[in-house]
Amino acid sequence: MVTLRFVPAILIATLALACKGKPPDPQKEPKEDGVDVKLAPKALEAAHLTTASPRSIARRASVSAAGKVDFVPSRVARVGPPIAGRVGTIPVVVGQKVGRGTVLVTLESVEVGRARGDFLAAKTRLEQTKAEVERENRLLAGGATSERAVLVAQTDQAQAQAQLRAAEDRLSTLGLGASANGQSVSLVAPIAGTVLQVNARMGQPVGPTDTLVVVGETEQVWLGVDVYERDVGKVHVGDEVRVSSIAFPGRVFEGKVDQLGSVIDPDRHVLDARIVLPNQDGALKPGMTASARILGEAAGDGGVALVVPRHAIQTVDGAPFVFVQREPGKYEMRPVERGTELDDDVEILRGLVLKDVIVVDGSFILKSEALKAQMGAND
């Protein structure tokens, strides 16, 4: 039987270390209670962390709805030909600012030539009847004709005047002046604005049902949404609205409820609502889908919500948490329970109190440090 006293001393020391595990690292500081991340002064300065306390705000009822962005009808014009023709020139391009009366498209049309011919014929006919009335009046003064002949001449003149007015009206309908010539007609902008669409192509045959150019203003747009019947009582004209779009993640557009429908759709059980949105930079495009959160009045019972900025919250494996500052350079990872998202803020149901100081900007840096420390502990 071999006893330990016959085993070399170096082997005994090795076995002892194996039984006790890895020797402690003399360079590693012991972990403080309640501190998950610790930054040295230089690292803290480089991190540029920003801290703040949670805020308490009045709890407000809200209704979520989705819809589509559209033009304000009085601020858009769809310009098309009043007659059949062929596109001659297109002197504008998309994005161009135009004033009222600016030529958008010129057309060549046989019908225009016919309308001008009718006008010239009516004008000539009127001149002839005027001359005939003057002649009959001279003859009547000399006793060489009758009053009946004068009356007939005057009737012919009245008919010629009516025909000329009809021909002038026809030219006006086509957007032409009485002095215009040829078979071309110009389509002009009825309002000032921006050219939003140009559907015309050189030489294209077009008719009265075609829209060739769209001119409008998009500095203000409408968002039409459907409010479910169960939420109708929570929505009122004048309510504030926060709108978001997948085209602009993180951006919130502010507007107001401008109009509510008067009839519930019996099949879908929704009420139409119209939201007016300022759109000075033109970011919201007609036809774009968007989501709206309609805010009601603050709760009358004094209810409040504790909120923090959305970017203060980090997640690990889907679990949300924030970094609570114990003192500058020392931070605790505090699990929290999220509530409703309120614009750029998130309601915190559990995990924080008003007096806590949390990291608002730069929390992702602390998350990275915490993950590195965890990986090191697992080695």
CATH architecture designation of domain 61-71+218-298: Beta Barrel (2.40)
CATH architecture designation of domain 37-58+304-378: Beta Barrel (2.40)
* pLDDT for residue 171: 74
Q: Tell me the sheet residues that pair with 345.
A: 309, 342
Residue 366: how many other CB atoms lie within 10 Å: 22
Residue 27 has pLDDT above 60, yes or no: no
Residue 26 has pLDDT above 60, yes or no: no
In whole numbers, what is the pLDDT of the chain averaged over residues? 84
Instruction: Categorize the per-residue pLDDT at 215 as very low, low, confident or very high, splitting at 50, 70 and 90.
Output: very high
The tens digit of pLDDT for each residue in 85-141 reads: 889 999 999 989 999 999 999 988 877 777 778 888 888 999 999 999 999 898 888
Topology given in CATH for the domain delimited by 82-108+184-216: OB fold (Dihydrolipoamide Acetyltransferase, E2P) (2.40.50)
The tens digit of pLDDT for each residue in 228-285 reads: 999 998 899 999 999 999 999 878 899 999 999 999 999 999 999 999 999 999 899 9
The tens digit of pLDDT for each residue in 334-351 reads: 999 998 777 678 889 999
What's this model's pTM, rounded to 2 decimal places? 0.56
Residue 368: phi and psi, rounded to 5, are -60, -45
The answer to whether the CB of 336 falls within 8 A of the CB of 353 is no
∠ Cα 306 308 310 (to 5°): 135
Residues contacting residue 23 through CB under 8 Å, at least 6 positions apart: 17
* pLDDT for residue 245: 92
Residue 378 has pLDDT above 60, yes or no: no
Query: Which has the minimum average pLDDT: 67-71, 222-226, 234-238, 373-377?
Result: 373-377
Topology given in CATH for the domain delimited by 110-182: Helix Hairpins (1.10.287)
Which of residues 4 and 216 earns the better pLDDT score? 216
Q: Where are the domains of the chain?
A: 37-58+304-378, 61-71+218-298, 82-108+184-216, 110-182
Query: Which has the minimum average pLDDT: 102-106, 112-116, 158-162, 352-356?
Result: 112-116
